[in-house]
Amino acid sequence: MHSALVRGQTVFGFFTTVAFCVAAFAAISVVFFPQAPSTSIKLRNVQVVKGRPHYYSRKKEEYAHVKFDADIDLASLFNWNTKQVFIYITATYPSSRNNEPPSQAIVWDAIIPAANAPSHHNQYHAPVGLPPPKKLKARNAPKLHTGKTGELHLKNQKPKYQITDHTGKIAERGNATLELRWNVQPYVGVLTWTNWNDFGRWKGLKGGRSKSFEFPALKVTSKEKLDTMKGGEGNRGKPA
């Protein structure tokens, strides 16, 4: 400690130690924030059409186009150490062979930023609707985004992705469900995924699975009805 250089090294060295301890506290503290996520998800419409995986492909595959309703409440996943939550909705259905695990394909996804997260064009922001007209009775009024982070009300939501699997056949396959999954990304600490079971103060996801449905038979439909939705990430750097 006799010279300025040595004192500088001491301060910086101990700064890194304390910084590590503060970060460890932040990472561990999330376990003590209670979580009670809940979701109800309903299939709205599903169609299966023939298509090509890309423009020059000669292989024709079957693609399922899934529309759904979902009321998602993941507000309790956001605490002081949450940067963003990635949510995705999968269609889960048994594989063609019995000894294989069920197939999962992502139908729709979104990045929900915390209120203080730096802005990015890939983030999902719920469409803000006009307030309901006064004449409309309260019970008939459509649900609007409440502005609470982590609460989403999706009505007749178009998929982002049309789904198929490695067999190329998806029509008339049964016992499929839509499931909500998430990935919490903290500022410091570990990533956590959907928990269906209780864990300490974290309650498991309530709901989160639709009733089982069957992919319908192949059908020729007009192109507009099979629109997919683009997220911000589809714009390649341009704002959504």
Footprint of another protein (CB under 8 A): 1-5, 7-8, 10-12, 14-15, 18-19, 21-22, 25-26, 29, 79-81, 116, 187-188
Q: What would the two tokens of residue 32 be?
A: 């003590």
Nearer to another protein, 187 or 213 (CB): 187
Tell me the C-alpha distance between 105 and 119, whole Å.
28
Nearer to another protein, 116 or 175 (CB): 116
DSSP assignment of 40-72: EEEEEEEEEEEE-SSTT----EEEEEEEEEEEE
CB of 186 to another protein, least distance (A): 9
Q: How many alpha carbons fall within 13 Å on the CB side of residue 152?
A: 29
Other CB atoms within 10 A of residue 27 CB: 15
Tell me the C-alpha distance between 155 and 87, whole Å.
16
Nearer to another protein, 79 or 164 (CB): 79
CB of 37 to another protein, least distance (A): 19
CB of 235 to another protein, least distance (A): 28
Tell me the C-alpha distance between 139 and 3, whole Å.
74
Tell me the C-alpha distance between 15 and 96, whole Å.
57
Tell me the C-alpha distance between 105 and 117, whole Å.
29
Nearer to another protein, 39 or 81 (CB): 81
CB of 205 to another protein, least distance (A): 23
Nearer to another protein, 2 or 139 (CB): 2
CB of 25 to another protein, least distance (A): 5
